[in-house]
Amino acid sequence: MSLPAPNLDDRRFQDIVDEAKRRITRYCPEWTDHNVSDPGVALIELFAWMTEMILYRVNQVPDRLYVKFLELVGVELFSASPARTDLLFTLAAPPVEPVRVPSGTQVGTERGEGEDQIVFMTDEDLQLVQPELTACLTRSAARYEDHTEDLRLDGSVVSCFPSLRPGDALYLGFANGLAGNLVRLSVNVSGVDAPGIDPSRPPRVWQSWDGADWREARILADTSEGFNSSGEVTLLLARRHEPLAIGAVRAHWVRCKLVDTVPGQPPYHVSPQIESVVPTGLGGAVAAHHAEPAPEELLGTSTGRPGQVFQVRRAPVLARRPGETVRVVPPRREPQREPESSVWTEVADFADARPDDRVFTWSGATGEIRFGPALTGRDGRVRQYGAVPDEDAQIYVSGYRYGGGRRGNVGAGKLSILLTAIPSVDSVRNLDPATGGVDAESVENAKVRGPLYLRGGHRAVTAGDFERLTLEAAPGVARARCLPPDSPGAPVRLMVVPRVDIPPEELKLEHLALSDGLERQIKGFLDERRLLTTRVLTDVPSYQGITVTAEVHAAATVRAEKVRTEAESALYRFINPITGGPDGQGWPFDLDLSIGDVFSVLRAVPGVLRAETVHIFLADLKGDIAPEEARQRVRLSSEALFMSVRHRVVVRQ
């Protein structure tokens, strides 16, 4: 419960006007007309209005003191978080020599009229190479057969899945690593219509070995239709591709593995027969984030005093990488000798800093760089927390990255302008929407977070602690739910809903997957704060798809199509794990959905006179099982959330 804030002056406009009129008879008795038509009364009301504004500002002083208190105890604004996506670089021709896309390569959106260009930078180097096929194996019942020579001989064929059991696979070995590369496999298949499968859903997956496990490759195109006929298979491989010895053959492997069929999916009746495979390098993809680089920057000259503050020109500043730091150049003492600069280290605070430690703090939200203060103890001695740059020393930052925020959550294909010249690269685009961009924290949010931070401490003990610290661990977390262990020694289950900036109508199950980077960030943050005996299992909630069909009656003065669109949009917003629920903060855990809730949502749509009929269906988010109609209420388990799937509203007039 919050303490009541004092009202420093509770007078309002009419109170001030009435008080001024009462004083007229004392100070100006000859003034007898006190009606609003009198010019003097008009002036009184004008100054009363101005005085009321001043009193309003005076009453904001407690808010300012509250914010200053939070700053005093170390509560700082979170900086912006950059959106992330993968950028696909396509080559103009197959590479003769490896093509290097260096880390920091910049790609932007098209600059619209009156709009700023949104720029992304690649996270690491990308090597685009021409694949060299050196080996071919097949596996059946854990036995491997070498078919390398069969691919080289005319008239020979290789049976991809010899026994037609799930787990059979065709292995293609390459001389060099193809990490992140886009590879086209031109496949010549013997016979026609032999496999007998559905060409749009063949029961097989493409994978590559990353040194620890087989990672699924993304199929961008398959004109062979699952080896139904000769054609081309275009694969985007995982970011790591390591060599592996299978029997006596060591190579960088890519395999096509037969998997179990799902209901309604026909299996292979006979194994496809491959006559030849010709690989071609087309390009590759690499991770990128929303940021722009800032060059080395001179911040100013040191005064030699403790607690100095400098500020970079651009903010918000993203989390620093190695090499992004402060450099101090001492003043020149001898004309013939150039002074040697020193590199300082960024720290979170000065609590443990010794007087000779060359450390500083850097606020990402504001861009402020601070050097250590000097404090006087009870014994009168002055203690310096961190070293102080010498007087007249020049303070530089060696470069940094700025940007981030929700504006970086651009749609698929929007990043298409290559801003860094790279020979042989023909085009670039992002295959998927960029996600994870979050604006810098607002002061209002910090005012709510501050008391939770002070009361909860820095340890993860209770379920509430885990949920609160998970939200602090990464701005990319929208919601978190902690489930206690089922039995002694069992792990704590932490359900995480990632933050995505996608319209509710377009939200899909794959958008809510937990990325490896976000999972590592959460795990690293919690490992420093959990008990040593507590194990944490990070996962995503299970999502129950909900489809609503309804019939509503609309007023004759509104367009039926407009009412239908707004009604369906209202359902998508309401039944949503991020923006749904009664308070619009995401569908609550443990809250059931009833037909009455749906009626309330539909009746609130402008133009709807009444909702006639409503039906709720349980939908399969993967589309493999037909929807099943539910009753009056849909129950929700403790680890699940509702998610909208294909609502349909019929409007009658």
For strand 359-362 and strand 345-346, is the pairing parallel, antiparallel, or unpaired?
parallel
Strand locations in 217-320, DSSP E?
218-222, 231-236, 243-246, 249-258, 273-290, 292-294, 297-301, 309-311
Structure-block tokens of residue 187 = 């496949």
**Residue 456, exposed/middle/buried by CB under 10 A (0-12, 13-18, 19+)?**
middle
Q: At what angle do helices 560-574 and 595-603 cross, to 10 degrees?
A: 130
Give the pLDDT score at 385.
Answer: 92
What 96-102 contacts at long range (C-beta under 8 Å, 24+ apart), as own/partner pairs, is 96/130, 98/127, 98/128, 98/129, 99/127, 99/128, 99/129, 99/422, 99/423, 99/424, 99/425, 100/125, 100/126, 100/127, 100/128, 101/125, 101/126, 101/127, 101/128, 101/284, 101/286, 101/422, 101/425, 102/420
Distance CA(487)–CA(367), nearest Å, equals 47
Q: How far apart are the C-alpha atoms of 615 and 611, rounded to whole Å?
A: 11
pLDDT at 58: 64
Whole-model pTM? 0.68
- Helix locations, 355-503, DSSP H: 443-456, 463-473
Output the pLDDT for position 36: 80
190 — phi, psi (to 5°)?
-85, 130
pLDDT attached to residue 291: 94
Q: Residue 458 has which token pair?
A: 């820095």
3 state SS of 506: helix
Residue with tokens 């959460």: 522
Residue in 524, 356, 554, 515 with CA at minimum distance from that of residue 435? 515
Contact yes or no for 288/122 (Cβ under 8 A): yes
Tokens describing residue 291: 């940021």
Domain annotation for the chain: domains and CATH numbers: 1-59 (no CATH), 61-78+441-454 (no CATH), 82-123+404-438 (no CATH), 133-286 (2.60.120), 319-383 (no CATH), 457-536 (3.30.300), 542-652 (no CATH)
In the chain (653 residues long), the average pLDDT of successive 10-residue segments reads 53 85 84 83 88 74 67 75 94 93 95 86 95 94 88 86 91 95 93 68 92 93 89 94 92 94 82 92 96 93 94 91 92 66 89 91 90 88 92 93 91 93 93 88 76 69 84 84 84 88 85 86 87 86 91 88 91 91 87 90 90 88 76 84 91 87
Is residue 175 a contact partner of residue 251, using CB atoms and an 8 Å limit?
A: yes
CA distance 60 to 209: 61
Confidence at residue 2, expressed as pLDDT on a 0 to 100 scale = 42
CA distance 466 to 471: 9
Instruction: Find the helix or strand (DSSP H, E) in which 125 lies.
Output: none
Cα(165)–Cα(268) distance, integer angstroms? 10
pLDDT number for residue 1: 34
Residue given tokens 């020049």 in the structure block: 394
Beta strands in 291-424 (DSSP E): 292-294, 297-301, 309-311, 326-329, 342-343, 345-346, 359-362, 368-371, 374-376, 382-384, 394-397, 400-402, 415-418
> Checking DSSP bridges between strand 648-652 and strand 542-554, what pairing results, if any?
parallel
pLDDT confidence of residue 441: 79
